[in-house]
Amino acid sequence: MSELDELYQSLILDHNRAPRNFRELPTSSGHAEGRNPLCGDTFNVWVQVKDGVVTDVSFLGQGCAISKASASMMTTIIKGKTVSEVRGLFDRFHQMVTGRAPTAEDEKKEARNALGCLSAFAGVSAFPIRVKCATLAWHALMKAVETAADGMPADARS
Amino acid sequence: MSELDELYQSLILDHNRAPRNFRELPTSSGHAEGRNPLCGDTFNVWVQVKDGVVTDVSFLGQGCAISKASASMMTTIIKGKTVSEVRGLFDRFHQMVTGRAPTAEDEKKEARNALGCLSAFAGVSAFPIRVKCATLAWHALMKAVETAADGMPADARS
Amino acid sequence: MSSPSVVDPRPGAAPDQTWDPASIRGDFPMLERTIRGRPIAYLDNAATALKPRSVIDEVVRYYQDVTANVARGVHTASQEATERFETVRHQVGMFLGSRPADEVVFTSGTTGAINLVAQSYGRAVLRPGDEVLVTEMEHHSNLVPWQLVAEQTGARVRAIPITGSGEVDLGWLERNRSDRTKIVAVCHVSNVLGTVVPVARVAALAHEMGAVCVVDGAQGVPHLRVDVGALGCDFYAFSAHKLFGPTGLGVLWGRQPLFERMPPWQGGGGMIARVEIEKSSFAPPPARFEAGTPPIAEVFGLGAVLDYLAALDRRAFEHEDRVVRYAEELLRAIPGVILHGAAPGRVGLVTFSVEGVHPHDVGTALDAGGVAVRAGHHCAQPLMARLGVTATVRASFAPYNTRREAEALAEGVEQAKRVFGQ
Amino acid sequence: MSSPSVVDPRPGAAPDQTWDPASIRGDFPMLERTIRGRPIAYLDNAATALKPRSVIDEVVRYYQDVTANVARGVHTASQEATERFETVRHQVGMFLGSRPADEVVFTSGTTGAINLVAQSYGRAVLRPGDEVLVTEMEHHSNLVPWQLVAEQTGARVRAIPITGSGEVDLGWLERNRSDRTKIVAVCHVSNVLGTVVPVARVAALAHEMGAVCVVDGAQGVPHLRVDVGALGCDFYAFSAHKLFGPTGLGVLWGRQPLFERMPPWQGGGGMIARVEIEKSSFAPPPARFEAGTPPIAEVFGLGAVLDYLAALDRRAFEHEDRVVRYAEELLRAIPGVILHGAAPGRVGLVTFSVEGVHPHDVGTALDAGGVAVRAGHHCAQPLMARLGVTATVRASFAPYNTRREAEALAEGVEQAKRVFGQ
Ligand SMILES: Cc1ncc(COP(=O)(O)O)c(C=O)c1O
Ligand SMILES: Cc1ncc(COP(=O)(O)O)c(C=O)c1O
Query: Catalytic pick from D187, D213, D233, D379?
Result: D379
Which distant-in-sequence residues (6+ apart) come within 8 Å of B26 by Cβ? none
Q: Which domain-ending residue is among C280, C310, C340?
A: C310
Ligand 1 centre to CA of C362 (Å) is: 46
pLDDT of residue B131: 92
Q: Catalytic: D379?
A: yes
**What tens digit of pLDDT does each residue of B56-73 get?**
999 999 889 999 999 999
**What tens digit of pLDDT does each residue of B126-157 get?**
888 889 899 999 999 999 998 876 554 444 33
Q: Report if residue A136 sits inside a domain.
A: yes
For the cut 70, the answer to whether the pLDDT of residue C6 exceeds it is no
Ligand 2 centre to CA of C292 (Å) is: 23
Q: Report if residue C10 sits inside a domain.
A: no
Looking at the fold, whether D302 and D349 belong to one and the same domain comes out as: no
- Pick from D48, D106, D117, D139 the residue to mutate for probing ligand 1's pocket: most ligand atoms within 8 Å of its CB: D139
User: What is the DSSP code string of D261-324?
Assistant: HPPPSS--TTSEEEE-SS-EEEPPTTGGG--SS--HHHHHHHHHHHHHHHHS-THHHHHHHHHH
Specify the number of domains making up chain C: 2
**Residue in B123, B135, B137, B125 with CA at minimum distance from that of residue B9:** B123
**What tens digit of pLDDT does each residue of C282-311 get?**
999 999 999 999 999 999 999 999 999 999
CB distance C217 to ligand 2 below 6 Å: no
pLDDT of residue B156: 39
pLDDT class of C422 with cuts at 50, 70, 90: low
> In chain B, what residues touch C83 (CB-CB under 8 Å)?
128
pLDDT of residue D98: 80
Q: Report if residue D363 sits inside a domain.
A: yes
CA distances from D168 to D135, D193, D343 (A): 7, 11, 10
Q: Report if residue C360 sits inside a domain.
A: yes
Q: What is the mean pLDDT of chain C?
A: 94
- Give the CATH number, domain containing residue C273: 3.40.640.10
**pLDDT mean over C252-280:** 95
Q: Report if residue B33 sits inside a domain.
A: yes
Pick among C360, C411, C413 to test the A interface (most A CBs inside 10 A): C360
Looking at the fold, whether C202 and C91 belong to one and the same domain comes out as: yes
Specify the number of domains making up chain B: 1
Looking at the fold, whether D45 and D117 belong to one and the same domain comes out as: no
Q: Report if residue A82 sits inside a domain.
A: yes
Q: Report if residue B157 sits inside a domain.
A: no
Ligand 1 centre to CA of D142 (Å) is: 8
Q: Which domain-ending residue is among D310, D327, D352?
A: D310
Looking at the fold, whether C155 and C275 belong to one and the same domain comes out as: yes
Looking at the fold, whether D88 and D172 belong to one and the same domain comes out as: yes
Task: State the ipTM, two decimals.
Answer: 0.91
Q: Report if residue D199 sits inside a domain.
A: yes
pLDDT of residue C87: 96
**What tens digit of pLDDT does each residue of A75-127 get?**
999 999 999 999 999 999 999 999 987 878 888 888 888 899 999 999 999 88
Ligand 2 centre to CA of C139 (Å) is: 7
**Residue in C335, C323, C326 with CA at minimum distance from that of residue C397:** C323
**Touching check for C291 and chain B: CB below 8 Å?**
no
Q: Report if residue A135 sits inside a domain.
A: yes
Residue D92 carries which side chain, given as an amino acid letter? V
- Give the CATH number, domain containing residue C325: 3.90.1150.10
Q: Report if residue C125 sits inside a domain.
A: yes
pLDDT of residue D9: 38
Q: Which domain-ending residue is among D294, D310, D326?
A: D310
pLDDT of residue D73: 76
**Rounded Cα distance, D140 and D389, in Å:** 17
**What tens digit of pLDDT does each residue of B35-48 get?**
886 666 889 999 99
Looking at the fold, whether C40 and C115 belong to one and the same domain comes out as: no
The shortest C-alpha distance from D162 to chain C (Å) reads 13
Q: Report if residue D170 sits inside a domain.
A: yes
Q: Report if residue B139 sits inside a domain.
A: yes
**What tens digit of pLDDT does each residue of D344-399 get?**
999 999 999 999 999 999 999 999 999 999 999 999 999 999 999 989 999 999 99
Looking at the fold, whether D331 and D218 belong to one and the same domain comes out as: no
- Give the CATH number, domain containing residue A23: 3.90.1010.10
Residues having CB closer than 6 A to ligand 1 are C 269, 292-293; D 46, 109-111, 139, 141-142, 187, 191, 216, 218-219, 239, 241, 379
**Rounded Cα distance, D315 and D23, in Å:** 12
Looking at the fold, whether C193 and C302 belong to one and the same domain comes out as: yes
Q: What angle, 0 to 180 degrees and rounded to 10, lies between the N-to-C axes of helices D53-65 and D296-311? A: 150
**pLDDT mean over A43-47:** 96
Q: Report if residue C17 sits inside a domain.
A: no
**Touching check for D50 and chain B: CB below 8 Å?**
no
**pLDDT mean over C331-347:** 97
- SS3 state at C196: strand
CB contact under 8 A, B35 and C273: yes
Looking at the fold, whether D303 and D326 belong to one and the same domain comes out as: no
User: What is the DSSP code string of D9-28?
Assistant: PPTT--TT----THHHHTT-
**Rounded Cα distance, D155 and D151, in Å:** 7
**Touching check for C386 and chain D: CB below 8 Å?**
no
CB distance D73 to ligand 2 below 6 Å: no
Question: Which ligand is closest to the CA of C112, given by its number?
Answer: 2
pLDDT of residue C2: 37
With pLDDT > 70 as the criterion, what percentage of chain D qualifies? 95
Q: Report if residue B158 sits inside a domain.
A: no
**Residue in D113, D84, D296 with CA at minimum distance from that of residue D220:** D113
Q: How many residues are there in chain B? A: 158
SS (H, E, C) A66-120: HHHHHHHHHHHHHCCCEHHHHHHHHHHHHHHHCCCCCCCHHHHHHHHHHHHHHHH
0.95 exceeded by the pTM?
Answer: no
**Residue in C158, C157, C160 with CA at minimum distance from that of residue C149:** C157
**What tens digit of pLDDT does each residue of B62-109 get?**
889 999 999 999 999 999 999 999 999 999 999 999 998 788 888 888
**Residue in A144, A128, A50 with CA at minimum distance from that of residue A90:** A144
**What tens digit of pLDDT does each residue of C26-60 get?**
999 999 999 999 999 999 999 999 999 999 999 99
- Domain range for D234 is 56-310
Looking at the fold, whether D262 and D355 belong to one and the same domain comes out as: no
pLDDT class of A146 with cuts at 50, 70, 90: confident
pLDDT of residue B39: 65
**Residue in D288, D246, A66 with CA at minimum distance from that of residue C299:** D246
Q: Report if residue C11 sits inside a domain.
A: no
- Domain range for A75 is 3-150
Residues A39-49 as b or e (16 or more Cβ within 10 Å = b): bbbbbbbbbbb
Nearest residue (CA) to ligand 1, atom 15: D218
**Residue in D212, D215, D206, D204 with CA at minimum distance from that of residue D139:** D215
- Tens place of pLDDT per residue across chain D (422 aa): 333 333 333 344 444 568 999 999 999 999 999 999 999 999 999 999 999 999 999 999 999 999 999 976 789 999 999 999 999 999 999 999 988 889 999 999 999 999 999 999 999 999 999 999 999 999 999 999 999 999 999 999 999 999 999 999 999 999 999 999 999 999 999 999 999 999 999 999 999 999 999 999 999 999 999 999 999 999 999 999 999 999 999 999 999 999 999 999 999 999 998 899 999 999 999 999 999 999 999 999 999 999 999 999 989 999 999 999 999 999 999 999 999 999 999 999 999 999 999 999 999 999 999 999 999 999 999 999 999 998 999 999 999 999 999 999 999 999 999 998 76
Nearest residue (CA) to ligand 2, atom 15: C218
Looking at the fold, whether C122 and C181 belong to one and the same domain comes out as: yes
User: What is the DSSP code string of D318-362?
Assistant: HHHHHHHHHHHHHHHTSTTEEEE---TT--SEEEEEETTB-HHHH
Q: Report if residue B84 sits inside a domain.
A: yes
Looking at the fold, whether D264 and D353 belong to one and the same domain comes out as: no
> In chain D, what residues touch C139 (CB-CB under 8 Å)?
269
